[in-house]
């Protein structure tokens, strides 16, 4: 997967929140083989844990993608992004501008505005967005070079609620990296996203809230690899009727 001219060795990105312990998080990152981990500025500066958490991330070798999780306005998101750039020393930012408190659906109007401000300020923006084509076009026009459509509401584990919309996005944005972000709960969800031709998936709750986060991280990594390989293999089209796999010509005739 290539994003903002950076070649990544994995199609999987992993969030770092909600894990039972730093040991579980470290094990999950390593088991997943992910190239990128997302980090909230609030998590990094949490009381008494920031330094150890940051040291642990450095040791994994994963690239850090700060995010603006929990921001509900353009000003809040832009300010948080600029603070994150200072703390994490990167121009990458996963941009979230939340518009609905219950569904955590993005405020797409604020998202486009904030993306334009940050792109003009030198950020390389990864926008958490819906699966709407018009919003995607406006985000690209604002300076984004990657789109991160949701599969389902954050933390819901519902999987892909609208695979047809994601399939349409893939066809419409043929040359744009698409990373499904939010809502995936099982390895089959990750495989399904990759089979649609997505460039990657970002997971957090599905791994962190599993009974065994490390085992789930490993399973997700395998699912992403299988889904990507399946997409590249050009799977057969679905058929309305059965088609025999054994030739009917040459069958013995019983007299």
State the Cα–Cα distance between residues 155 and 183, nearest whole angstrom. 6
Q: Please name which of 58, 69, 48 lies closest in space to residue 26, comparing C-alpha atoms.
A: 58
Q: How far is CA 180 from CA 87, 126, 158, in A?
A: 26, 11, 13
State yes or no: 40 annotated in a binding site: no
DSSP 8-state assignment for residue 241: S
Residue 128, SS3 per DSSP: strand
For 129-175, write each residue's pLDDT tens digit.
999 999 999 999 999 999 999 999 998 989 999 999 999 999 999 99
For 217-253, write each residue's pLDDT tens digit.
999 999 999 999 999 998 888 888 888 777 666 666 6
Pair of tokens at residue 67: 């995010």
pLDDT the model gives residue 245: 77
Mean pLDDT, residues 14-24: 90
- CA quadruple 98, 153, 227, 208: dihedral sign: positive
Q: How far is CA 75 from CA 78, 96, 136, 181, in A?
A: 5, 12, 21, 23
List residues bridging with 147 in a β-sheet.
178
State yes or no: 73 annotated in a binding site: no
The one catalytic residue among 24, 43, 85, 94: 94
State yes or no: 116 annotated in a binding site: no
Are 12 and 32 spatial neighbours (Cβ–Cβ below 8 Å)? yes
State yes or no: 209 annotated in a binding site: no
Pair of tokens at residue 194: 């990759």
Cα-atom radius of gyration of the chain, to the nearest Å?
20
pLDDT the model gives residue 186: 95
Kindly list the structural domains of the chain, giving each domain's residue range(s) and its CATH number in brackets, ordered by start: 9-233 (3.20.20.70)
pLDDT the model gives residue 246: 73
- CA quadruple 222, 172, 151, 88: dihedral sign: positive
pLDDT the model gives residue 47: 43
- Is position 94 annotated as part of the catalytic site? yes
For 58-117, write each residue's pLDDT tens digit.
888 889 999 999 899 999 999 999 999 998 899 999 999 998 888 888 999 999 999 999
State the Cα–Cα distance between residues 192 and 175, nearest whole angstrom. 20
State the Cα–Cα distance between residues 182 and 191, nearest whole angstrom. 14
pLDDT the model gives residue 42: 66
């Amino acid at each position: 997967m290539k994003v903002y001219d950076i070649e990544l060795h994995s199609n999987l990105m992993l969030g770092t929140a909600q894990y039972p312990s730093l040991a579980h998080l470290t094990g999950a990152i390593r088991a997943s083989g992910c190239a990128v981990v997302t980090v909230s500025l609030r998590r990094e500066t949490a009381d008494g844990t920031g330094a150890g958490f940051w040291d642990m991330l450095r040791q994994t070798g994963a690239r850090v993608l700060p995010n603006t999780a929990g921001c509900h306005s353009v000003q809040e998101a832009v300010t948080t992004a600029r603070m994150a750039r200072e703390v994490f020393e990167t121009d990458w930012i996963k941009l979230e501008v939340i518009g609905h408190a219950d569904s955590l659906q993005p405020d797409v109007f604020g998202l486009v505005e904030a993306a334009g401000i940050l792109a003009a300020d030198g950020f390389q923006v990864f926008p958490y967005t819906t699966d709407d084509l018009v919003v995607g076009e406006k985000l690209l026009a604002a300076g984004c070079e990657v789109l991160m459509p949701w599969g389902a509401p954050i933390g819901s584990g519902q999987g892909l609620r609208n695979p047809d919309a994601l399939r349409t996005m893939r066809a419409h944005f043929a040359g744009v990296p698409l990373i499904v972000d939010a809502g995936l709960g099982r390895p089959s969800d990750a495989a399904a996203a990759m089979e649609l031709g997505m460039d990657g998936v970002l997971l957090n709750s599905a791994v962190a809230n599993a009974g065994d986060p490390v085992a789930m991280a490993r399973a997700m990594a395998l699912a992403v690899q299988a889904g990507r390989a399946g997409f590249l293999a050009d799977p057969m089209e679905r058929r309305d009727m059965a088609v025999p796999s054994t030739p009917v010509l040459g069958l013995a005739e019983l007299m």
